[in-house]
Amino acid sequence: MPHSDAAATLPLLNPHPHVSVVPIFDGHQCVIIDDFMLEPEALVDYAARNHAHFQDVSGNYYPGPELPISGTFAARIHDSFLQHARAPLKARRILDVKSRLSLVTRRPEELLPGQRLPHRDFTGLPPGQGAGAMVLYLFKDERFGGTSFFKPRMPEHEIKALLDDLQRREQAGEAAPPDVPPTFAIASSPHFDKVLTIAPRYNRAIFYCGEVFHSGHIDAPELMVNDPLTGRLTVNAFFRLRMAAG
């Protein structure tokens, strides 16, 4: 099994990264941190050494295998959120965080119905709680794509009914409806307006609200390979937050 605390092999965060903040919509913001780590290649090498332990997670909509990361590196991600993203995301403190290495490997025709639409990482949180998310790009081929954000074109109850129907179809082994074609979510559709795409860059991390609809901007799925050294490798982290008052 991979070492749960790879302090000896996983790199330190850059104490002086390049940080910018861009608006998404309705007051939501995306924090972009370039030069996130001092030695990002060490994390890529760690992923390659532990490639055999990547697994597809049942019930998770990520289109490929993943490897949980805990210990020291997860603590570094926690600290980076507090330093750079807490204020833009209007959070007070972090209640918990989960992080993992991820590879996109599925082809469009292999996507489940619900994987063809933008998604949210959290829904139905109690009052006063919120959600944050992070993506760290660990690939150099920018054709692999960044991250796009979407605003629903219909009320929340209609979006929920659509997503519930797609989940029901998945469980029943039924096909998606014709207006949900087998493609990654990279453009506006009858259900969503795409409002922003963040371009990928090696060693770039982005933080954003996990309750905003988003998707990997994968417009060249034929390039995806199941190899941490040459594929679309990212770190994905998910934060449950106590939100600031007001």
Q: For residue 244, is pLDDT > 90? A: yes
Tell me the per-residue pLDDT of 156-193, one tens digit each, with 9 for 90 and over: 999 999 999 998 998 888 888 888 988 999 999 999 99
Average pLDDT over residues 101-120: 93
pLDDT band with cut points at 50, 70 and 90 for residue 209: very high
Residue 4, pLDDT score: 46
- Based on the number of CB atoms within 10 Å of its own CB, is 172 exposed (0-12), middle (13-18) or buried (19 or more)? exposed
Give all strands (DSSP E) within 24-78, no chain letters: 29-34, 66-69
Residue 175, pLDDT score: 87
Residue 120, pLDDT score: 94
Q: For residue 71, is pLDDT > 90? A: no
Rounded CA-CA distance 171/177 in Å is 14
Average pLDDT over residues 56-73: 87
pLDDT band with cut points at 50, 70 and 90 for residue 246: low
Q: For residue 3, is pLDDT > 70? A: no
pLDDT band with cut points at 50, 70 and 90 for residue 224: very high
- Other C-beta atoms closer than 10 Å to the C-beta of 56 total 12
Query: 46 CB contacts (<8 Å, ≥6 apart)?
Result: 2, 6, 9, 10
Locus of tokens 């039924």: 174
Q: For residue 5, is pLDDT > 60? A: no
